Amino acid sequence: MDTTVMLGHGSGGSMMKRIIDEVFFEAYAGEELLRGDDAAVLAPPAPGERIAFSTDSFVVSPHFFPGGDIGRLAVCGTVNDVATSGAVPKYLSCGFVLEEGYPIENLKRICASMAEAAAEAGVRLVTGDTKVVNRGHGDGVFINTTGIGFIPAGVSLGGANIRPGDRILVSGTLGDHGITIMSCRESLSFSADVKTDAAPLNHLIAAVLAAAPNTRCFRDPTRGGISSTLNEFASQAQADMVIDQDSVPVKPSVAGACEMLGYDVMQVANEGKMVCVVAADEAEAALAAMRSSRYGADAALIGEVREMKPERGPKALIRTPIGGTRILDMLVGEQLPRIC
């Protein structure tokens, strides 16, 4: 077995077959991949169901970090994007761009992580692609994943469904992923409990929908953090999103790191958290469903939706501990590049 990626691994010949067989197939090949066809043939949705489809690319640096790696991130990120529509994620594609010289052992480790995350989410990797670029032109490995899921009949989620009086929930502590990446990249040591929150949240979403069928929408607060998510909701709903700072769960170590680095934790990226807006009378049921999930133990009810003031338009607002209210702005530019 080769020890590093070589240009020949992207040639379409015997070397490419070898890396596919000994790395990718060995890690996660199922029936569809093993057929060796150029396209996976998948079962259609049941009558009344619709297809949800999402794609994402992952370029995080470093590739390995406490609690996960680029492979886990790639699977969880796309699973979560599909699941926010209320769909049941079923299938993933995976495209690798590899740099000549990248260690095969690292690639195997990434693929094993992807297989583990896919099994946890209940999805199958059914098709993929591999390209190799010259040394110095790819930063080791980039990954693209595309996900397909089926939306059950009667489920229709989206920010336009939000109404004044609705409640805003978050599934756990904020800022974990962004601070983990920063601590690794800059060799900083904040606390032993700072690790990525990357996780597949499709089961958590399914539990919330079962407990609170009038859920309006879900969104994963990745780049731009919860601040950007709430601003997107406000724009879609033409309403104000108002949260309480004291209600937002943040680990003390993450809060301390943000204070030291000058970051607003509301704008720091998350990879295993979900923001949810639900009808007021179902908020407690939704919260209980989140907390019963493996990744929702720290879930919290953090705010509510209010009528906007027509003279200024929809806003995301946060009530501070001293009784004031400030605007939550969307992130401008890159707070921390190459976060996912």
* Residue 140 pLDDT: 97
Kindly give the residue spans of alpha helices, DSSP state H, lying in the chain: 14-19, 26-28, 31-34, 70-83, 104-121, 176-185, 202-211, 225-237, 252-261, 283-292
* Residue 110 pLDDT: 98
To the question of pTM greater than 0.85 for the whole model, the response is yes
Per-residue pLDDT of the chain (340 residues; tens, 9 = 90+): 689 999 999 888 999 999 999 999 999 999 999 888 889 999 889 999 999 999 999 999 999 999 999 999 999 999 999 999 999 999 999 999 999 999 999 999 999 999 999 999 999 999 999 999 999 999 999 999 999 999 999 999 999 999 999 999 999 999 999 999 988 887 776 666 789 999 999 999 999 999 999 999 999 999 999 999 999 999 999 999 999 999 999 999 999 999 988 899 999 999 999 999 999 999 999 999 999 999 999 999 999 999 998 888 999 999 999 989 999 988 776 677 788 8
In the sheet with 275-278, reading across from the earlier edge strand, the strands are 215-219, 275-278, 167-170, 300-307, 239-244, 316-319, 325-327
* Residue 186 pLDDT: 76
**Numbers of helices and strands, H then E, in the chain:** 10, 13
Residue 132 falls within a domain, yes or no? yes
Residue 52 falls within a domain, yes or no? yes
Contact assessment for residue 314 and residue 238, using Cβ atoms and an 8 Å cutoff: yes
Q: Is the dihedral angle over the CA atoms 24, 93, 129, 339 positive or is it negative?
A: negative
Residue 334 falls within a domain, yes or no? no
What is the domain range of residue 270? 159-327
105 and 206 fall within a common domain: no
175 and 200 fall within a common domain: yes
The region that residue 98 occupies, defined by phi over 0 for left and psi between -120 and 50 for alpha, beta otherwise, is: beta
Residue 44 falls within a domain, yes or no? yes
Do the strands 167-170 and 300-307 form a parallel or antiparallel pair, or are they unpaired?
A: antiparallel
195 and 137 fall within a common domain: no
85 and 184 fall within a common domain: no
Q: For residue 317, give both structure tokens.
A: 């607002």
Q: Is the dihedral angle over the CA atoms 303, 307, 312, 313 positive or is it negative?
A: positive
224 and 246 fall within a common domain: yes
Q: What is the CATH number of the domain that holds 191?
A: 3.90.650.10
Residue 332 falls within a domain, yes or no? no
The single-letter DSSP state of residue 298 is T
Contact assessment for residue 6 and residue 100, using Cβ atoms and an 8 Å cutoff: yes
144 and 215 fall within a common domain: no
User: Which residue among 125, 151, 177 closes a domain?
Assistant: 151
185 and 255 fall within a common domain: yes
82 and 124 fall within a common domain: yes
How many distinct structural domains can be found in the chain?
2
Q: For residue 26, give both structure tokens.
A: 């060995």
φ, ψ of residue 89 to 5 degrees: the values are -65, 140
Q: What is the CATH number of the domain that holds 129?
A: 3.30.1330.10
What's the N-to-C CA distance of the chain in angstroms? Answer: 30
User: Which residue among 100, 120, 151 closes a domain?
Assistant: 151
Segment (H or E) for 313: none
* Residue 190 pLDDT: 64
111 and 221 fall within a common domain: no
User: Which residue among 87, 122, 151 closes a domain?
Assistant: 151
201 and 314 fall within a common domain: yes
Residue 98 falls within a domain, yes or no? yes
Residue 339 falls within a domain, yes or no? no
Instruction: Give ∠ CA 275-77-270 in degrees, rounded to 5.
Output: 50
Residue 1 falls within a domain, yes or no? no
129 and 209 fall within a common domain: no
Do the strands 88-99 and 124-133 form a parallel or antiparallel pair, or are they unpaired?
A: parallel
> For residue 88, which amino acid is it?
V
181 and 272 fall within a common domain: yes
